[in-house]
Structure 1
Amino acid sequence: MKNLLTLLLLLVANILNAQLTLQGKVVDEFNSPIPFVNVVLKNTNYGTTTDENGKFYLKTRKYRGNLEISFIGFQTQTIKVSQKTKFLNIVLKEGTNELEEVIIVSKPKKRLKKKENPAYRILKEIWKRKRKNGLDLVDYYQYKKNTSIEIGLNNLDTLFLKKIFKNEYKQAIKEVQYDSDGINYYIPIFLNEQVSKVYGDNKNNNTREDIEAEKSEGLGAQGYVFDRMSKTFQNVDIFKNNINLLQKPFISPLSTNGFDTYDYVLYDSIVDNNKKLYNIYFFPRRDGDLAFQGNFWVVDKNFSIKKLKMKVHKSINLNFVRGLSFEKEFEVRNDSIYIPTKNAYEGDFTFIDKNESNKGLTIKKNITFQDYILNKPYPEAFYTQEIVKIRPDQYKKEKTYWDSIQSNESKKTHKLIENVKSKKQIKHLTGLINTVASGYINTNTGIQIGPLWTAFANNQIEGIRTKMGFRTFVTKDDRFRLSGHIAYGFKDKKTKYGAEARYLLSYKPRISVGAAYQKDIEQLGSTLFNTSQLLGRSFGTTALFSRGDNFFLSNIEKIASNFDYQIQNNLHIGFNFTHAKIKSASEENFSMNYIDESGNTQSQVTNVNSDIYVSYTPGRFVYGLGVERQFGRNVFPTFVLNYKRGYKDFFNGTHEYDKIQFKYNQPILLSKFGILDATFEVGKTFGTVPIALLSPIPANQSFSLVKDTFTLLNYYDFVTDEYLAGHFEHHFNGYILNRIPLLKKLKLRSLVTFRAAYGSISKENMAINRSNINYNTPNKLYYEYSVGLENIGYGNLRFLRIDAIWRSNYSLPAGSVVAPTPKFAIRIGVRPGL
Structure 2
Amino acid sequence: MKHLLSLLLLLTTNILSAQLTIQGKVVDEFDTPMPFVNVILKNTTHGTTTDDNGKFYLKTNKYRGTLEISFVGFQTQTIKVSQKTKFLSVVLKEESNELEEVVIVTKPKKRLKKKENPAYRILKEIWKRKRKNGLDLVDHYQYKKNTSIEIGLNNLDTLFLKKIFKKEYKQALQEINYDSDGINYYIPIYLNEQVANVYGDNKNDNIREDIEAEKSEGLSAQGFIFDRMANTFQNVDVFKNNINLLQKPFISPLSTDGFSTYDYVLYDSIVNNNKKLYNIYFFPRRDGDLAFQGNFWVADKNFSIKKLKMKVHKSINLNFVRGLTFEKEFEVRNDSIYIPTKNAYEGDFTFIDKNESNKGLTIKKNITFKNYVLNKAFPKNFYEQAIEKIRPDQYEKEESYWEAVQTNESKNTYKLIESVKEKKQIKNLTGLINTVASGYINTNLGVQIGPLWTAFANNQVEGFRTKMGFRTFITKDDRFRLGGHVAYGFKDKRVKYGAEARYLLSYKPRIAVGVAYQKDIEQLGSTLLNTTQLLGRSFGTAALFSRGDNFFLSDIEKIATNFDYQIQQNLHIGFNFSHSKIASASERNFSMNYIDENGNMQSQVTDVASDIYVSFTPGRFVYGLGVERRFGRNVFPTFVLNYRKGYKGPFNGTHSYDKIQFKYSQPILLSKFGTLDASIEAGKTFGTVPVALLSPIPANQTFSLVKDTFALLNYYDFVTDEYLAGHFEHHFNGYILNRIPLLKKLKLRSLVSFRAAYGNISQENRAINDGLTNSSGAYNINYNAPNKLYYEYSVGLENIGYGNLRFLRIDAIWRSNYTPPTGSVVAPTPKFAIRIGIKPGL
* TM-score class, shorter: 0.7 to 0.9
Moved more, 809-818 or 479-488: 809-818
Q: In the alignment, which residue of structure 2 is the partner of 1:303?
A: 303
In the alignment, structure 2 segments of 5+ residues that lack a partner are 1-71, 76-93, 773-778
What is the identity, as a one-letter code, of the residue corresponding to 1:631? F
Contact 1:519 1:558 in 2 (8 A): yes
Q: In the alignment, which residue of structure 2 is the partner of 1:781?
A: 789
What is the identity, as a one-letter code, of the residue corresponding to 2:667? P
Q: In the alignment, which residue of structure 2 is the partner of 1:291?
A: 291
Q: In the alignment, which residue of structure 2 is the partner of 1:344?
A: 344
2:248 matches 1:256 = no
Question: What per-residue deviation string (whole Å, max 9, x for no partner) do you get for residues 174-204 of structure 1?
Answer: 0001111111110000000000000000000
Q: In the alignment, which residue of structure 2 is the partner of 1:704?
A: 704
Q: In the alignment, which residue of structure 1 is the partner of 2:493?
A: 493
2:714 matches 1:717 = no
Q: In the alignment, which residue of structure 1 is the partner of 2:803?
A: 795
What is the identity, as a one-letter code, of the residue corresponding to 1:808? S
Moved more, 617-626 or 542-551: 617-626
2:265 matches 1:265 = yes
Following superposition, the deviation at residue 811 of structure 1 comes to: 1.7
Following superposition, the deviation at residue 544 of structure 1 comes to: 0.3
State the secondary structure of the residue aligned to 2:231.
helix
Q: In the alignment, which residue of structure 2 is the partner of 1:129?
A: 129
Matches within 5 A, 1:225-374: 225-374=225-374
Question: What per-residue deviation string (whole Å, max 9, x for no partner) do you get for residues 212-257 of structure 1?
Answer: 0000000011000011111111121000000011110000000000
What is the identity, as a one-letter code, of the residue corresponding to 2:378? Y
Q: In the alignment, which residue of structure 2 is the partner of 1:572?
A: 572
Q: In the alignment, which residue of structure 2 is the partner of 1:636?
A: 636
Question: 2:520, 2:560 → 1: CA distance?
Answer: 14
Contact 1:105 1:281 in 2 (8 A): no
Q: In the alignment, which residue of structure 2 is the partner of 1:154?
A: 154
Question: 1:569, 1:525 → 2: CA distance?
Answer: 31
What is the identity, as a one-letter code, of the residue corresponding to 2:679? T
Following superposition, the deviation at residue 96 of structure 1 comes to: 2.5
Following superposition, the deviation at residue 74 of structure 1 comes to: 12
What is the identity, as a one-letter code, of the residue corresponding to 1:141? Y
2:557 matches 1:557 = yes
- The structure whose Rg is larger is 1
Question: 1:105, 1:706 → 2: CA distance?
Answer: 51
Q: In the alignment, which residue of structure 2 is the partner of 1:809?
A: 817
Q: In the alignment, which residue of structure 2 is the partner of 1:732?
A: 732
Q: In the alignment, which residue of structure 1 is the partner of 2:654?
A: 654
Question: 2:752, 2:167 → 1: CA distance?
Answer: 58
Contact 2:105 2:266 in 1 (8 A): no
What is the identity, as a one-letter code, of the residue corresponding to 1:795? G
Question: 2:387, 2:657 → 1: CA distance?
Answer: 43
Question: What per-residue deviation string (whole Å, max 9, x for no partner) do you get for residues 317-343 of structure 1?
Answer: 000000000000000000000000000
Question: 1:790, 1:347 → 2: CA distance?
Answer: 23
What is the identity, as a one-letter code, of the residue corresponding to 2:500? E
Q: In the alignment, which residue of structure 1 is the partner of 2:483?
A: 483
Following superposition, the deviation at residue 766 of structure 1 comes to: 0.6
Question: 1:635, 1:160 → 2: CA distance?
Answer: 40
Contact 1:608 1:653 in 2 (8 A): yes
Aligned counterpart for 1:772 among listed residues 780, 788, 803? 780
Judged with a 3 Å threshold, the aligned counterparts in structure 2 of structure 1 residues 658 and 105 are, in CA distance, closer, same or farther, namely farther
Following superposition, the deviation at residue 477 of structure 1 comes to: 0.2
Contact 2:447 2:471 in 1 (8 A): yes
Q: In the alignment, which residue of structure 1 is the partner of 2:376?
A: 376
Question: 1:379, 1:400 → 2: CA distance?
Answer: 33
Percent same amino acid among aligned pairs? 87
Following superposition, the deviation at residue 526 of structure 1 comes to: 1.3
Q: In the alignment, which residue of structure 1 is the partner of 2:196?
A: 196
Question: 1:235, 1:560 → 2: CA distance?
Answer: 40
Question: What per-residue deviation string (whole Å, max 9, x for no partner) do you get for residues 542-571 of structure 1?
Answer: 000001000000000000000000000010
Question: 1:389, 1:181 → 2: CA distance?
Answer: 38
What is the identity, as a one-letter code, of the residue corresponding to 1:715? Y
Q: In the alignment, which residue of structure 2 is the partner of 1:663?
A: 663
Matches within 5 A, 1:8-27: none
State the secondary structure of the residue aligned to 2:121.
helix
Question: What per-residue deviation string (whole Å, max 9, x for no partner) do you get for residues 480-525 of structure 1?
Answer: 0000000000000000000000000000000000000000000002
What is the identity, as a one-letter code, of the residue corresponding to 1:445? L
Q: In the alignment, which residue of structure 2 is the partner of 1:447?
A: 447
Question: 1:628, 1:105 → 2: CA distance?
Answer: 55
Question: 1:180, 1:341 → 2: CA distance?
Answer: 24
Question: 1:372, 1:484 → 2: CA distance?
Answer: 51
Contact 1:322 1:348 in 2 (8 A): yes
Contact 2:342 2:367 in 1 (8 A): yes
Question: 1:211, 1:499 → 2: CA distance?
Answer: 38
What is the identity, as a one-letter code, of the residue corresponding to 1:786? S
Question: 1:98, 1:578 → 2: CA distance?
Answer: 76
Following superposition, the deviation at residue 358 of structure 1 comes to: 0.7
Structural RMSD (CA): 1.4
State the secondary structure of the residue aligned to 2:654.
coil
State the secondary structure of the residue aligned to 1:435.
helix
What is the identity, as a one-letter code, of the residue corresponding to 1:570? N
Following superposition, the deviation at residue 814 of structure 1 comes to: 1.4
Q: In the alignment, which residue of structure 1 is the partner of 2:830?
A: 822
Matches within 5 A, 1:8-47: none
Contact 1:772 1:816 in 2 (8 A): no
Matches within 5 A, 1:162-201: 162-201=162-201
Question: 1:666, 1:434 → 2: CA distance?
Answer: 28
Question: What per-residue deviation string (whole Å, max 9, x for no partner) do you get for residues 645-704 of structure 1?
Answer: 000011000000000000000110000000000000000000000000000000000000
Question: 2:251, 2:558 → 1: CA distance?
Answer: 50
State the secondary structure of the residue aligned to 1:233.
coil
Question: 1:559, 1:528 → 2: CA distance?
Answer: 20
Question: 2:393, 2:97 → 1: CA distance?
Answer: 50
Q: In the alignment, which residue of structure 1 is the partner of 2:839?
A: 831
Following superposition, the deviation at residue 107 of structure 1 comes to: 3.9
What is the identity, as a one-letter code, of the residue corresponding to 2:376? K
Question: 2:490, 2:840 → 1: CA distance?
Answer: 32
How high is the TM-score relative to the length of structure 1? 0.88
Matches within 5 A, 1:463-482: 463-482=463-482
Matches within 5 A, 1:3-82: none
